[in-house]
Amino acid sequence: MVDRTMLASQRTLFEMPRDICYLNAASYSPLPLKTIEAGRAAVLRKGQPWTLSAGFANQQHERTRAAAARLIGADPDDVALVPSVGYGVSTAAKSLTLPRGCRVIVLENDHSSPVLEWHARAGTQGLVVETVRQPDDYDWTSAILAAIERPGAPPVGLASISSVHWSDGGLVDVEKVSAALKRQGAVFLIDATHHVGVLDLDVTRLAMLTDRIAERLRDAGRSVPDKRFRAPHILSLAFKDRMPAGLIEGLASEDIYVAPRLGRMRISPHVYNDEADCDRFVAALSKRLRM
Ligand SMILES: Cc1ncc(COP(=O)(O)O)c(C=O)c1O
């Protein structure tokens, strides 16, 4: 049995100097060296397309579909390749017939890609888009279930949500939400951008690093989201009034990289990070916030 808690930092697989403290994988994940090599080879190949066999593109597509299917326990035939989440959502919307007057559940401050399409269709298709408010306690699952099951409300036709919330890293229990939607015969559209390939594979390691940051911040008197309600690989910090101006830029000037997200600070370590990165981040943040 593999003990995933022992996964060492994978920094050597990346082009990442030791003095870079990169905690921003959820925005721009650096490409592993192997992927950079594959990208170079692909660009060179496109320079001489006459050398490619007729079946080459299809083989690549099938390989990609099989790899994607493995990540989510699906069959390659269940997978369609699309150029973006927004495009995938609008394609799905074209193939669905939702009853007039039904509700479409979306999340406040979610990424626009799973949300916009439904607002655009609401008028012409008679849909009622209901936005679940960002809960103060980070418990998105309870908030979504309460919205779906609200007594007296019109039936739900569809929920279109990010299963790891785009701006606060909140984790939605997709099994529970799925069961509640099924009871109403509703469709569940999951934007799993921050979910697939992390939660099911390397949960324990990533969790360790965000837990370490969370513990140290809590020790310093800062409020951090409860572990039960957040994705294990993302930690999003809220500020009482607003995030102090220049905080993200100040950290970046020390080669510590995190993302601002709608007034919160989103910290997203990945396989190249280690405990030293976490401690360095907490020390720098504490100094800047005088915690
Ligand atoms: C939750 C989520 N969904 C979707 C996207 C990207 O959407 P698209 O592929 O439509 O540009 C992002 C990108 O940051 C995201 O965080």
Kindly state whether residue 117 falls inside one of the protein's structural domains: yes
- CA separation for the pair 10, 272 (Å, rounded): 5
Range of the domain at 139: 85-191
Residues 90 and 68 in one domain: no
Quote the pLDDT of residue 207: 66
Half-sphere exposure in the Cβ direction for 276 (13 Å, CA):
8
Quote the pLDDT of residue 242: 87
| CA–centroid distance, residue 177 to ligand 1 (Å) | 21
Residues 154 and 204 in one domain: no
E strands, 138-286, are 156-162, 187-191, 235-237, 256-257, 259-261, 264-267
Residues 184 and 279 in one domain: no
CATH of the domain at 110: 3.40.640.10
CA distance readout (Å), 104 to 112, 143, 160, 193, 217: 15, 15, 7, 20, 37
Residues 68 and 96 in one domain: no
Which ligand 1 atom lies nearest to the CA of residue 162?
A: 1
Strand pairing report for 128-132 and 103-107: parallel
End-to-end CA distance of the chain: 42
Residues 206 and 123 in one domain: no
Residues 93 and 139 in one domain: yes
How would you write 212-226 as a 3-class SS string? Answer: HHHHHHHHCCCCCCC
Residues 281 and 230 in one domain: yes
- Which residue's C-alpha comes closest to atom 1 of ligand 1? 166
Residues 244 and 281 in one domain: yes
Q: Is the pTM of this model over 0.75?
A: yes
Kindly state whether residue 30 falls inside one of the protein's structural domains: no
The one-letter amino acid code at 101 reads G
The answer to whether the CB of 250 is under 6 A from ligand 1 is no
Residues 224 and 243 in one domain: yes
- CA separation for the pair 36, 14 (Å, rounded): 9
Quote the pLDDT of residue 200: 63
| CA–centroid distance, residue 237 to ligand 1 (Å) | 20
Helices (H) and strands (E) counted in the chain, each on its own, are: 9, 9
The answer to whether the CB of 113 is under 6 A from ligand 1 is yes
Residues 91 and 174 in one domain: yes
Which ligand 1 atom lies nearest to the CA of residue 27?
A: 14
Kindly state whether residue 32 falls inside one of the protein's structural domains: no
Give pLDDT tens digits along the chain (291 positions): 334 455 789 999 999 999 999 999 999 999 999 999 999 999 999 999 999 999 999 999 999 999 999 988 889 999 999 999 999 999 999 999 999 999 999 999 999 999 999 999 999 999 999 999 999 988 999 999 999 999 999 999 999 999 999 999 999 999 999 999 999 999 999 999 999 887 763 334 486 899 999 999 998 888 899 888 998 889 999 998 889 999 999 999 999 999 999 999 999 999 899 999 999 999 999 999 987
Quote the pLDDT of residue 159: 98
Burial class (CB in 10 A: 0-12, 13-18, 19+), 114: buried
The answer to whether the CB of 160 is under 6 A from ligand 1 is no
User: Which positions ≥6 away from 267 have C-beta within 8 Å?
Assistant: 23, 24, 210, 213, 234, 235, 236, 237, 258, 281
Kindly state whether residue 5 falls inside one of the protein's structural domains: no
| CA–centroid distance, residue 89 to ligand 1 (Å) | 11
Residues 187 and 222 in one domain: no
CA distance readout (Å), 240 to 60, 136, 263: 49, 12, 10
- Overall number of domains in the chain: 3
CATH of the domain at 246: 3.90.1150.10
Residues 101 and 68 in one domain: no
Kindly state whether residue 52 falls inside one of the protein's structural domains: yes
Kindly state whether residue 114 falls inside one of the protein's structural domains: yes
Kindly state whether residue 282 falls inside one of the protein's structural domains: yes
Diameter of the chain measured on Cα atoms: 63
Please identify, among 145, 167, 191, the residue that sits at the C-terminal boundary of a domain.
Answer: 191
Quote the pLDDT of residue 130: 98
The answer to whether the CB of 109 is under 6 A from ligand 1 is no
Please identify, among 136, 157, 191, the residue that sits at the C-terminal boundary of a domain.
Answer: 191
The answer to whether the CB of 193 is under 6 A from ligand 1 is yes
Quote the pLDDT of residue 6: 53
Quote the pLDDT of residue 204: 42
Helix (H, G, I), strand (E, B) or coil at 149: coil
Among candidates 104, 231, 105, 109, which has minimal Cα distance to 172?
231
